[in-house]
Amino acid sequence: MTLLSIKNLTKRFGGLLAVDDVSFNVEQGKIVGLIGPNGAGKTTVFNLITGNYIPDEGHILFDGRSLTGLKTHKIVSLGIARTFQTIRLFKNLTVLENVMAGCHCRMRSGILSSMLRLPFQRREERLALARALKELEFVGLKQHMDINAMNLSYGNQRLLEIARALASNPKIIILDEPAGGMNDYETNRLVLLIEKMQKRGLTVLLIEHDMNLVMRICEDIIVLEHGARIAQGKPEEITRDQRVIEAYLGIEEDEDEALEAEGRD
């Protein structure tokens, strides 16, 4: 079943065509990778899905519903949660309160019921707390719950973003370079975590430059270059695709540099 369907998505920034007529489907329960060179428009696609940008053309359908024109918080409440490429935590709040942010859109109590601490509000707070603790345990940060988010290590800050996204009870989680800045040990933990998320029934869409990670866990890969989709398929298909090799995977780095050096001379 198709959970997320992107049709002819186009986004321009002035004269720059950031996303050019991109279409793809994300199947329910799959781990899907979005790869491509820097500046290919991957993060722009994410920002279009989550409502941070408004597409110039095209549609995004989620669970049979159009997301066009909806604000980000509304899209989150429909079941799309995300993490950011540059970590965006609530730095001066505790790890626990960061995760509780995800619960916000699932809570109903208002100003008056909170002022009066009505029984239903207190029960809801308790349920949110339990949910936040569960997600902290899931990503393995429960022992750090009382410290401020800014005092976590870089890798743990990435995990905290994931916990916050999970606390909003999403159907799909969108991870923007989750392994960015992580060491090998942390990356391995992340792979296990993403697999655990899939087992929970979540669909995962991720951008990642660590090809090792992408090839290991993604069941479906979409490749972007200059804003356009140039390939889609299983990992083994992608690694053999000539255009993808030319655009992104292929040329060895030192060879590349040698060519550039020649050009400069």
What is the total count of residues that contact another protein (CB under 8 A)?
A: 53
Please state, in angstroms and rounded to a whole number, the distance separating the CA atoms of residues 243 and 246. 5
Residue 127: CB minimum distance to another protein, A? 4
Judged by CB under 8 A, the stretch of 7-15, 31-39, 98-106, 184-192 that binds another protein is 98-106
Does 134 sit near another protein (CB under 8 A)? yes
Per the CB < 8 A criterion, the answer to whether 58 and 5 are in contact is: no
DSSP structure class, residue 29: T
Q: In angstroms, what CA-CA distances link 239 with 167, 212, 243?
A: 35, 11, 10
The number of beta carbons lying within 10 Å of the beta carbon of residue 43 is 20
Q: What is the nearest approach in angstroms of another protein to the Cβ of residue 103?
A: 5
* Residue 144 contacts another protein per CB under 8 A: no
Encoded tokens for 255? 């060879």
CB of 165 to another protein, least distance (A): 8
The least CB distance from residue 168 to another protein, in Å, is 5
Nearer to another protein, 11 or 82 (CB): 82
Does 117 bind another protein (CB under 8 A)? Our answer is yes
Question: What is the rounded distance in angstroms from the CA atom of residue 58 to the CA atom of residue 178?
Answer: 27
Annotate 122-132 with b (16+ C-beta within 10 A) or e (fewer).
Answer: eebbeebeebb
Residue from 15, 38, 111, 263 in contact with another protein (CB under 8 A):
111
On the 0-12 / 13-18 / 19+ scale of CB atoms within 10 A, 108 is exposed
Footprint of another protein on 150-209 (CB under 8 A):
164-165, 168-169
Separation between Cα atoms, residue 6 and residue 24, nearest integer Å: 5
Task: Say how many C-beta atoms besides its own lie within 10 A of residue 236's C-beta.
Answer: 10
- Least CB distance to another protein at residue 81 (A): 8
Among 20, 33, 124, 217, binds another protein (CB under 8 A): 124
Q: 183 with 213: CB under 8 angstroms?
A: no
Residues 36-95 that bind another protein (CB under 8 A): 50, 52, 71-74, 76-77, 81-82, 84, 88-94
Among residues 55, 102, 155, 227, the one that binds another protein under rule CB under 8 A: 102
Binding site for another protein (CB under 8 A): 50, 52, 71-74, 76-77, 81-82, 84, 88-94, 96-97, 100-107, 109-111, 114-117, 121, 124-131, 133-134, 137, 145-146, 164-165, 168-169
